[in-house]
Structure 1
Amino acid sequence: MELGLAGRVALIAGGSSGLGLAVAEELAKEGAHVAIGARDPEKLARAERRLKELGRGQVLATEVDLKNPEAVRHWVEDVAGRMGALHIAVTNSGGPPPGPATKFGVEAYREAVDAVLLPPISLALAALPHMQQARWGRLLFITSETVVRPVARFALSGFSRLGIVGFASALVQELGDCGVTVNVLAPGYTRTPPVERTAGAGGDVDSGLRAMAAHIPLRRVGLPEEFAAAAAFLASERASFITGTVQLVDGGASVIG
């Protein structure tokens, strides 16, 4: 299926590893020009090489502190200036520490807001003027299944990421008449390095992954490329009438709780 992504300019926060890199790879394969930003220069360099091997579009890799709104704004303007436009923005931030709600004090909740909620907001606010000018845009927020299926031991994640859903919902109502769609992606357990580390906490990664899969109807954890395929579709021309959704990519885990 032709997604109509060739020549589009996509910016992916946290695009040097994990789900962010998987999305960048999928968009590059579809012919998009891809700009990734993250903090680790070594991971960025590896990701840049990988993306150049996969795609036929331009690739930019930038070291950026995604928690610094001014740095994010400068990054967005640099990408739009060098690539000539900005059509797609994918926000992505790491998760806060696990634990139940009463484990944490107010300061931990404030830190979760600073680390998880505000970076996607600052990126969206910087990117949207370019999409509005083009009268075409795709804004994707990567969150977690905890925004749909609260998990007691991930209280900070659910709290901070639900704020992203609220922000996205407000944008949907504001941007509908200028060709910009806004959607939230909510992955479940997906085989990324953080999930593998969690699975291996008991000593054996495969056993840990099987234990995770026991609560998933498909009886396995997801693959990054499966998540990326959903993201690429929502970023495409084919998804032009899809906006305001929270798209679960969790193998059905939310159905059984």
Structure 2
Amino acid sequence: MDLELSGRKALITGASRGIGRYTAELLRREGCSVAICARDPAGVDDAVTALDAIGDGRAFGWSVDLTDGDRTRAFVRDAIESLGGLDLLIHNASGFDLVGDEAGWERSFQVDMMAGVRAVEEALATLQASEEASITFIGSMASKFHFGRAPSSYGPAKAAMRTYANELAQSYGRDGIRANVISPGAVWFPGGGWDRRKRENPKFYAGVEKSIPLGRLGTGEELARIIAFVASPAGRWINAAHIVADGGQVAAVD
């Protein structure tokens, strides 16, 4: 299938590793130029070097703490200038934090919600000028269901993101901008949280595997394919959607 991504420009937050990195690599293979950000400068540099060696177009990156609103906006402006436009905005970064105090709540909403708002506001005029614009937020099953191991701030922040995405879809659909949320279930990738849990608590990890009808956790590559399709022109009829990608772990009808 042709995702019609050749020559497009994409911005992905939280993309030096994990789902964001897999998505950036896939978009590069499809012919996109990409701009990424993450907190770790060395991680961003390594990712940009690897991404720049893939496919046509270019790769660009900044080290950004997404709780810093001014730097977040500056990154988006510089990314648009460096790429020569923007077609796909993917907000993948998360402030997931096991601290349930006020600081944890603040970080969750600053990174998961407000960083996305700031990125959209800074990119909106450029997205309106695109022929195929899409905004994709990476959510969580915790926006719908309580999970005992999730911090109290995480689910509410992701739920706010879903409402915001719907507002964008309804408000800017006539401008040709789509907005959607993809909520992964448990996803394993090297060095990630589930990789750590597998090593530190194999019994718990095995229990999670058993709770998924497909009998395993998802992978970064699998989530990247879903994200790329929804964000791409091939998914142009998908708008205001909340797509759960969890292997059937949540045994409920929406």
TM-score normalised per structure 1:
0.90
Question: What's the CA shift string for 1:190-248, capped at 9, x where partnerless?
Answer: 0131221123222x5xx554322111010000010000000000111111111111111
Alignment of 1:45-60 (within 5 A): 45-60=45-60
- The Cα RMSD (Å) is 1.9
Partner of 1:82: 82
State how far apart, in whole Å, the 1-side matches of 2:107 and 2:58 are: 35
Question: What's the CA shift string for 1:25-49, capped at 9, x where partnerless?
Answer: 1111110001111121111122112
Partner of 1:164: 161
Question: What's the CA shift string for 1:56-88, capped at 9, x where partnerless?
Answer: 221112122222221111111111112211111
**CA drift at 1:95:** 4.1
Q: Does 1:200 align with 2:199?
A: yes
**Secondary structure of residue in 1 paired with 2:136:** strand
Partner of 1:173: 170
Aligned residue identity for 1:195: W
Change (3 A) 1:107 1:15: closer
**Is the Cα–Cα contact under 8 Å of residues 196 and 209 in structure 1 kept in the other structure?**
no
**CA drift at 1:105:** 4.6
State how far apart, in whole Å, the 2-side matches of 1:106 and 1:38 are: 23
**Is the Cα–Cα contact under 8 Å of residues 34 and 83 in structure 2 kept in the other structure?**
no
Which structure 2 residue ranges, 5 or more long, are not aligned?
none
Partner of 1:133: 129
Q: Does 1:230 align with 2:230?
A: no
Q: Does 1:9 align with 2:9?
A: yes
Which structure 1 residue ranges, 5 or more long, are not aligned?
none
TM-score normalised per structure 2:
0.91
2:148 to 149, 152, 171: 152
Change (3 A) 1:110 1:43: closer
Partner of 1:29: 29
Residue-pair matches, total: 250
State how far apart, in whole Å, the 2-side matches of 1:109 and 1:40 are: 22
State how far apart, in whole Å, the 2-side matches of 1:209 and 1:228 are: 22
State how far apart, in whole Å, the 1-side matches of 2:221 and 2:249 are: 18
What fraction of aligned residue pairs are identical, expressed as a percent? 29
**Is the Cα–Cα contact under 8 Å of residues 148 and 254 in structure 1 kept in the other structure?**
no
**Is the Cα–Cα contact under 8 Å of residues 98 and 104 in structure 2 kept in the other structure?**
no
Question: What's the CA shift string for 1:10-36, capped at 9, x where partnerless?
Answer: 000011011110110111111000111
State how far apart, in whole Å, the 2-side matches of 1:2 and 1:247 are: 21
More helix as a share of residues: 1
Change (3 A) 1:27 1:150: same
Question: What's the CA shift string for 1:154-185, capped at 9, x where partnerless?
Answer: 23211111010111111111011011100001
**CA drift at 1:52:** 2.2
Partner of 1:73: 73
Aligned residue identity for 1:133: A
